[in-house]
Amino acid sequence: MPSTKISALPIAGAIGGGELLPAVQGGGNVAVTPAMLRRHALAGTPPLIGRPFAKLMVDGDSKAGEAPAAARWVAARTPLNVWIMPVSFSVGGSTSGTQAGTGLTNPDRMAAMTAGVAAETAADWIVDMLLTIGTNDVVLSGLAADTILANVRKYHDAFRAAGGRFLILMGVDPRSGLSAAMARQIVAVNRAYADYCMTVPDAIFCDTAPWWLDPAPTNAAFSPIGGSTGNAFSMAADGLHGSAYGSYRKQFALGPILRAIYRPRDPIPLNAGDSFDATTAPRGNMLGANARCVALGGTSSIVNSGTGAIAGTPPLGWTATGTLTGDLGVAFSTATCAPLEAYTGSSGWTAVRIAFTGTPGEAGSLTLRLTTASAQQAGMLLAGSALLSGNALVGCHGISVTTANITPTVNNILGATGTLGAPDQLPQIDGLIALDLMAQPTAGTNSGLSVAIRWRAGVAMSGSIDLIGATWRRIDPIPAAAA
């Protein structure tokens, strides 16, 4: 309709990427598609420019939760401007096929994924996706590598059309019990994934195999470290599904990717004067002055059911809970945090140090909690952060920060989330750890944060962890530019 003004044309529906748009190239008229423009924009964007805060969603099979667990370790060590979401769309037993329920490319499941992504992009979020798929395709369905990749491409096309930005395609992990043919097939799938991501600008391959693969020269079966023994520091308790330590190891594959995509962020809180005021500091720390941990004097509600000792008191304003068993003891003191001094280049950074000695008789945790009397900010986006630092901490099975007194509860967990097993033991923990979370509560009063350290029965603990501070603040809308 050459005589029709653009203003008179109907508004287009969802852009699929194949529409034709007029352009001039080399002095002549040509047609381009939105997909071509998107590829050009992505290819020409410097690593950090034009990549604001994003949501990282998750899809795949029963192993899908390992990728966001690894991402949380990355963000804890090098804080990034990304909201790592819980497992969003994954289904246990999934293949890349179209079967009902467990098929990644089943029409109903694809519709749910695209609707979820489209809803986030409509709310002005940038959405990236962690996809874990392929192990069941090989072991349960015997699909060829190119068939699996064709299915992944179908998924990726739908994700892109819904407004998604980057697809981070996780490699198929080593697993126990593979035949020689299956082992070769999984390697072939990973190479197909890598080749695809080399040719498509909005797909990135994350090869986790080097951090899981048993390096024994006789390992021709693509078996993981620890196999299915369930021993400490095994990649997977059952030879397939990643342990807490297995997810910890994956951070070394995923870290370079996330640090290239997302903007860095300083690990705060640090300022003792950071506090909330509805008029002058609406983004201030609602936890107040005690959020910066520099003195003892808090409330200890720790139950000692064993023979270990409890020395000192929690940070001022905080409450500590938990049950000690066996000969596990805990001691609170103030100390200089050397890793924070090294990070800032200045001396005198004080924190509250929590030292552990002995062996617990039962699994348990030490939880420290700080809440605010400020009015609940229901419906508003809130950000929480806890800054800690490990000092040769051994025997730890998890570190977490969790919202207090809001609905729904939100947490950020490093380590196991359920019943602890031997492979969930974490390696020695040293250095700064920043645990961030975001929440949009619908109800609750006297909200705040709690920090927890977990242990397992029979595993000796030693070393300490410094609690530097915590923030709990509003993320207010950005005002319009001044006239």
Q: Could you tell me the CATH number of the domain that includes residue 426? A: 2.60.120.260
Which of 261, 276, 302 terminates a domain? The answer is 261
Q: Could you tell me the CATH number of the domain that includes residue 163? A: 3.40.50.1110
Q: What is the pLDDT of residues 201-211, one digit of tens each?
A: 999 999 999 99
Same domain, 253 and 300: no
Residue 86: the pLDDT is 83
Is 22 inside a domain boundary? no
Same domain, 212 and 323: no
Domain count, the chain: 2
Give the residue numbers spanning the domain of 89.
39-261
Same domain, 244 and 328: no
Residue 240: the pLDDT is 96
Residue 24: the pLDDT is 78
Residue 273: the pLDDT is 85
Percent of the chain with pLDDT over 90: 75
Same domain, 256 and 293: no
Per-residue pLDDT of the chain (483 residues; tens, 9 = 90+): 456 777 777 777 767 667 888 887 777 888 878 766 665 555 444 444 445 689 999 999 999 999 999 999 999 999 999 999 988 899 999 999 999 999 999 999 999 999 999 999 988 889 999 999 999 999 999 999 999 999 999 999 999 999 999 999 999 999 999 999 999 999 999 999 999 999 999 999 999 999 999 999 999 999 999 999 999 999 998 999 999 999 999 999 999 999 999 999 877 767 888 899 889 999 999 998 889 999 999 999 999 999 999 999 999 999 999 999 999 999 999 999 999 999 999 999 999 999 999 999 999 999 999 998 766 667 788 999 999 999 999 999 999 999 999 888 999 999 998 899 999 999 999 999 999 999 888 877 789 999 999 999 999 999 999 999 999 999 888 889 998
Which of 242, 261, 280 terminates a domain? The answer is 261
Which of 241, 261, 281 terminates a domain? The answer is 261
Residue 46: the pLDDT is 46
Is 449 inside a domain boundary? yes
On whether the CB atoms of residues 147 and 93 are closer than 8 A, the answer is: no
Residue 43: the pLDDT is 47
> With helix as H, strand as E and coil as C, how does the chain read?
CCCCCHHHCCCCCCCCCCCCEEEEECCEEEEECHHHHHHHHHHHCCCCCCCCCEEEEEEECCCCCHHHHHHHHHHHHCCECEEECCCCCCCCCCECCCCCCCECCCHHHHHHHHHHHHHHHHCCCEEEEEEECCHHHHHCCCCCHHHHHHHHHHHHHHHHHCCCCCEEEECCCCCCCCCHHHHHHHHHHHHHHHHHHHHCCCEEEECCHHHHECCCCCCCCCCECCCCCCCCCCCECCCCCECHHHHHHHHHHHHHHHHHHCCECCCCCCCCCCCCECCCECCCCCCCHHHECCCECCEEEEEECCCCCEECCCECCCEEEEEECCCCEEEEEEEECHHHHHHHCCCCCEEEEEEEEECCCCCEEEEEEEECCCCCCCCCCEEEEEEEEEEEEECCCEEEEEEECCECCCEEEEECCCCCCHHHCCCCEEEEEEEEEEECCCECCCCEEEEEEEECCCCCEEEEEEEEEEEEEECCCCCCCCC
Same domain, 112 and 220: yes
On whether the CB atoms of residues 453 and 361 are closer than 8 A, the answer is: no
